[in-house]
Amino acid sequence: MAHTCLLLAMNPAIQQKAYQEVQQFIETENSYIDADILRKLVYIEAVLKESMRLLPVGSLISRKNLQDIVLDGHIIPKNTPLLMKPYSLHRRPDIWGSDAEQFVPERFLGEDSKRRHPYAFIPFSGGPRGCIGLRYAMMTLKIMLALILKNFEISTQLKYRDLRIHYQLSLNLAGPHAVSLERRR
């Protein structure tokens, strides 16, 4: 959520579009947000996914192959530890386009998102070993973001080009998120 708020603060036009969607479906700050409303918040979901694409919380995913794998003519023997780095996968121009480094939530809307390989976007891992909390996490994040946008405008002095990543168990910024919240009137 912190990464999403920072990216929205850096992109006021996208923040405004997300806020307009929230305004359309959530009438008051005390409105009950049910599953029907969550389904309607498609742009909010796209914003969250794009945030997780650029700044995925999980910095490394490790697996061990259960059988030999032939990959590009090379044999990877059974029981080899394999590491995947979502940060790099999520920035590949051959998958995400020449603007892969930019924050563009629309890439998760429409036909492009349906044609993309299902494992091109793995912020919660994927396949049989994927995170079982994915749906719960997305529902929670959508509610949190909708309520933040409903009540606050987010701003920052930070520039995207100046962000530095610090890899730990999770992906973090090397410096503070430094966002400001101003109550909407």
- Name the region of 171 (left: φ>0; alpha: ψ -120 to 50; beta: rest): beta
- Per DSSP, the chain holds a count of helices (H) and strands (E) of 8, 8
Are 63 and 129 a contacting pair, CB within 8 Å? yes
Dihedral angle, C-alpha 103, 38, 59, 1, nearest 10 °:
70
Amino acid identity, position 31: S
Is there a binding annotation on residue 5? Answer: no
Q: Return the SS3 of 131.
A: coil
Enumerate residues 6+ apart whose C-beta is below 8 A from 91. 54, 100, 101
- Name the region of 127 (left: φ>0; alpha: ψ -120 to 50; beta: rest): left
CA distances from 15 to 9, 96, 112 (A): 7, 21, 22
Report the binding-site residues.
131
Report the binding-site residues for heme.
131
